[in-house]
Chain A
Amino acid sequence: METAWRDVVDGFSCRDYWGTMAWNDIRARYRRSKIGQFWITLSVGLFVLGIGVVYAGIFGQSISEYMPRLTVSYVTWVFMSSVLVGGCGTFISASSTMQQRLFPISVHAYRLVSRELMILAHNSIVVAVVWVVFGVGVTPAALLVIPAIAINAYVAFWIAVTLGIASVRYRDIPPIVQSLVTILFFITPVMWASDRLGGHADIIVMLNPLAYLLAIVRDPVLGTVPPLATWAISLGIAAAATLVALYAMSLTRHRLAYWL
């Protein structure tokens, strides 16, 4: 565990490596087209527009009420799902570098998280646009989004380490995760609010860790302060993710190169 932690600390100080690589990941998208990463932002915007109109009708809610909630939830979801899917490739996609030079393995997770945060910043524009169009107010509670995103980024780092290691060893994990993410999308309150679930169905939300991590980002943006319990559970998830990832690292860190 200690050597794994050492790796994480040393990895952070290789900022010039992972920062440059993450930055280049983003630049790569701008090389192929003028608006680059904003193509994804555009598709997020279209999704929100289309689903917003249709589902507001299905749920019998007004668009001005449903759309802002959907927007912030979906933008956060895009971050979470890219971390889950991309996390499988944390090390596989870096295999040529990993076989050339010995870096702390955590550098590749730092690269992934910083890249996804930059993408999140791009997609936040959709939130801003919806806020302006629907004249949604911003309250001081919105400041809580900063610690909320910090917690999400922190969890994302350990997820990237864990899924990255598991995927190097078991090569069928990436497609498994891919299909799980599709299911997770429907059982996480992205398109719907959990208070609309009747009967015992809300147990699905209670047992879904993503629901808590999503709530701490969504609620402040919408102007409400998430309950203390939600923060506590999110921190608990963060602690669990840390322990699992550090354990996985300490077990496999030295064998990873052999498996690539």
Chain B
Amino acid sequence: MARLSARDLWISFAIFDYQHVSLKQTALRLGRRARTPAPVVHALKGVSFEASDGDRIGLVGHNGSGKSTLLRALAGIYLPTRGTLVAEGTRGSLFNVSAGLDPDATGHENITLLGVAAGMSRKQVAACREDIAAFADLGDALDRPVRTYSAGMQLRLAFGVATALPADILLIDEVIGVGDASFQERATARIRRLMGQAKVLFLASHGDSVLRDNCNRGLVFRDGHIVFDGPIEAALAFGREPRPSQPPAAAPPPRPAATGPGRRRPRPAGGAPTLFPTRRSR
């Protein structure tokens, strides 16, 4: 049973430039009174949504619109700067195919490394090894160092491990776009199999067909806001529109779910919160 709920979720980063990441510079500034606080970038600006079992959600939007940040927040990596995020259920994630990967180790050894880095026990890795190897379909290459792999082969291995154990909430960033058509097909089948055990999927991609094949609901991101929440087709259509300064005329079809009909979301009013208040005033 998985349930997610975000309420006015803000994720903000302080952008530390050289001055702020240098201990020496910081020490030099200590004597002076005026401290320029690090500039803050708001990656998510008050997004709200609900999701529950059976939701396969595609994240649509341009680079830097907040998709990856939301995925990381859902994984528990970024705690909300403001607002709340409730996520119940175990999580599986694939954001970066090389997390935990050792390029000099063989494919087999990397199944172990990626497995434990995905939170599996060594026992679970051993139990899933055959299934992962079968999905990765690397044959003898499994005994070769991973640095000799193509990007697609590396992806097959990482994807196979990340999806080896059923998770209540599966989070996948744009990585799967690297794969070829046959990979996309098998990845979709594998996601289906995982999703057959209920659960929630979040998938960020720039590939319309990837989203269409895997998702039934779409969230469109624009500049840190969710500007559309509805059926995937409508979301894709909405995402294709040029960035409007005014909402387009045609309303998207309604979405028959607890969260209500597909709708545009108003931009929140009010100022941005400060991430690190300058409490070090002397």
Contacts and interface: CB of A to CB of B under 8 A. Distances in A.
Chains A and B belong together in one complex: yes
A64 to B, nearest CB: 42
B93 interface: yes
B112 interface: yes
A119 B121 CA distance: 25
B100 interface: yes
A32 B104 contact: yes
- For the complex of A and B, 7 pairs with smallest distance between CB atoms: A170-B23, A100-B99, A102-B76, A96-B99, A171-B21, A20-B116, A17-B116
Given A17-B116, A100-B99, A103-B119, A24 B75 contact: no
Best-surrounded residue of A31, A101, A259 (most CB of chain B within 10 A): A101
B21 A16 contact: no
Contacts of A6: none
Interface string B65-81: 00000001001111100
Interface of B: 13-14, 16, 21-24, 26, 72, 75-79, 91, 93-96, 98-100, 102, 104-105, 109, 112-113, 116-122, 145
Given A17-B116, A100-B75, A101-B75, 20 more contacts: A16-B116, A17-B119, A20-B112, A28-B105, A97-B117, A99-B95, A100-B96, A101-B77, A101-B119, A102-B76, A102-B77, A102-B91, A103-B119, A169-B21, A170-B22, A171-B21, A172-B23, A257-B72, A257-B77, A259-B16
B275 to A, nearest CB: 8
Contacts, number: 86
Contact of B22 (A24, A102, A171, A258): A171
11 contacts: A17-B116, A21-B113, A24-B109, A97-B117, A100-B77, A101-B75, A101-B99, A102-B75, A103-B119, A170-B23, A172-B24
Interface in A88-143: 96-103
Contact of B21 (A27, A32, A172): A172
Interface of A: 16-17, 20-21, 24, 27-28, 31-32, 96-103, 166, 169-173, 176, 254, 257-259
A169 B78 CA distance: 16
Given A99-B96, A172-B22, A24 B119 contact: no
Nearest to B24: A172
Contacts of B105: 24, 27-28, 31
A28 B16 CA distance: 34
Contacts of B96: 96, 99-100
Contacts of B77: 98-102, 257
A46 B102 CA distance: 31
